Chains A and B, each alone.
Chain A
Amino acid sequence: MRAQFIFGEVWVGLRRNLTMTVALIVVVAISLSLLGTGLLVVKQVSHTRSLWQSKVELSIFLCDKNPLSPQCQNSGQATKADTNRIESTLKNLPEVVSVTYRTQAQNLAQFRKEFASNQVFVKSVSPGDIPASFQVKLRNAQADAGPVTAAVTGMPGVDSVGNDSTILTNFYRLLDGARNAVIVVAVILIVAAILLVANTIRLSAFNRRRETAIMRLVGASNFYVQLPFLVEGMIAGLFGWLIAVGLLVGAKAGLDGFQNYFPFRAQLSVSDLVEVVVFTMVIALLLCGTTSFLTLRRYLRV
């Protein structure tokens, strides 16, 4: 096995086929980075979901002194007895993990904290505008919200039930849609990349038909005849992968930046990125190696 000879042949092949090689590298880079971005988004969604899962609460607002909703106009301000009844109902539900009572003052403070960046918004709200509430943690934020809401709705003293996860559901739908679109485009591009690899190798085999004819004639083994082409395809794939790694680092930075818009940051770790990068490398090598090998079997028969 003479590495120097093989790499010399590979270099000649890549150079003679420069335009094809560049096209191949670009397509591999784009398809891999899209695929990798899709995988990063998948990870991001599941991270975000599990992080928010623990923070999502059901807010059961109680009627206060000046009721606005028809519900509260009927029952009037929540009495001490109403409040106790609501609390015990909640605590007896199997779906409920914990119940916390929050006074009007606490809710106002929380509101001011969450919207600290928007002072106009904060100033427009005066004490007494935000009712007292029960903050309920659920066993499963998605599935348990319905039954718990149904159990307390209509009880005297209950104004309305707010569910954080209805907002999140829409957000998840958006993320899932984006992920699916990215993966569909990535798969189409991977098909294009496979065809390009096959074509590049075929052209390369054609360009070097004199050399390969002589190699066969003097009794070079299949391995020797085919290896330069195989290595050629794989090297082009690896170059594409290297570019894709750069793009993926950028994509991760983008996803991290996106987190600034949310109250809880669910950043991907470096090991998540490394995992995706390694996965795309395996894909690149498999894609280029297998395609080159299958093409060679057709065009370089002994």
Chain B
Amino acid sequence: MIKPGRPRAPVPDSIERSDGPVIHFESVTKTYPNQSRPALESVDLDVEKGEFVFLVGPSGSGKSTFLRLILREERPTDGRIYVAGRDLARLTTWKVPQLRRRIGCVFQDFRLLPGKNVYQNIAFALEVIGKPRRFIRKVVPEVIDLVGLEGKGDRMPDELSGGEQQRVAMARAFVNRPMILLADEPTGNIDPATSIGIMKVLDRINRTGTTVVMATHDAAIVDSMRKRVIELEYGKVVRDQSRGVYGQAY
């Protein structure tokens, strides 16, 4: 069943908004240079604070572009994007890091630093934004516990299983308590049994009030979670269900 786009709150003409959706797309089109077909085409959608959203669709449907636009790694060709109350079009380059501090990111390939252990990998995310060492010493163990890696702080990434590495990546993404967590196929390299554990961690993170947007191909996971599902096809939103499943056939 296809639901029409949700009604949008009127957007005041200021850069910062404290209330309203954490992610707001307004007829966003993105065409990459030297390509005729847009990667995203007039996408309108809102993600509210604290929501858990699955982003599904075949490869090349625009899921990654959607995530990159939120991070402002790309700029839309047309339309407006608000993230955490900020109008991305008006965000100056030197303020982009501030935006990214409010967004955590998890990827299919974990992207851990091989030369650092679990604790150091997580602490790195805080060190580079200039957090004091006392703060780091306090929050890193907390988040290691939260993702279920108690006692494994001094392990190196190559001593961990795929599922454990992804937990480290989630801890690193969450350690600065972001408003939004973006997960791009977080279970793509992980077997189904381990994936359940990953989803439990994501759910735990979501319960702290963090909005989670997860792009995935994993039908079983989407079906079991019964969360909001946004389906993209050829760059267009073809489905937006509040308690959806992966395929339309159900």
Contact = CB atoms under 8 A, between A and B. Distances in A.
Contacts of B101: 218-219
B146 interface: no
Contacts of B140: none
Nearest to A210: B113
Contact of B100 (A1, A216, A224): A216
Interface in B98-149: 98-105, 111, 113-114, 124-125, 127-130, 133
Interface residues of A, number: 18
Contacts of A217: 71, 100, 105
B96 A302 contact: yes
B192 interface: no
Contact of A222 (B71, B94, B105, B129): B94
A213 B100 CA distance: 12
A211 interface: yes
A2 interface: yes
B93 interface: yes
B97 interface: yes
Contacts of A210: 111, 113-114
Given A210-B114, A218-B125, 20 more contacts: A1-B130, A2-B133, A5-B127, A211-B113, A211-B124, A217-B71, A218-B100, A218-B101, A218-B128, A218-B129, A218-B172, A218-B176, A219-B176, A220-B97, A220-B128, A221-B94, A222-B94, A224-B128, A224-B129, A302-B97
B51 to A, nearest CB: 22
A214 B111 contact: yes
A192 interface: no
Contact of A302 (B93, B111, B124, B128): B93
5 contacts: A210-B113, A214-B113, A214-B124, A215-B128, A224-B130
Which of B105, B127, B129 counts the most A-chain CB atoms under 10 A from its CB? B127
A125 B29 CA distance: 102
Nearest to A1: B130
Contacts of A222: 94, 97
A215 B172 CA distance: 11
Contacts of B96: 302
Contacts of B71: 217
Contacts of A2: 127, 130, 133
Nearest to A212: B128
Given A211-B113, A302-B93, A220 B105 contact: no
Contacts of B99: 219
Nearest to A208: B113
A7 to B, nearest CB: 12
Interface string A187-221: 00000000000000000000000110111111111
B126 to A, nearest CB: 8
Interface in B63-82: 71
A2 B129 CA distance: 10
Contacts of B94: 221-222
Contact of A213 (B93, B98, B111): B111
Nearest to B114: A210
Nearest to A16: B115
Contacts of A220: 97, 128-129
B111 A219 contact: no
Which of B71, B97, B124 counts the most A-chain CB atoms under 10 A from its CB? B97
Which of A214, A215, A222, A224 counts the most B-chain CB atoms under 10 A from its CB? A214
A219 B130 contact: no
A200 B151 CA distance: 40
Contacts of B124: 211, 214
B10 to A, nearest CB: 29
Interface in A1-46: 1-2, 5
A282 to B, nearest CB: 29
Nearest to A217: B105
Contacts of B97: 216, 219-222, 302
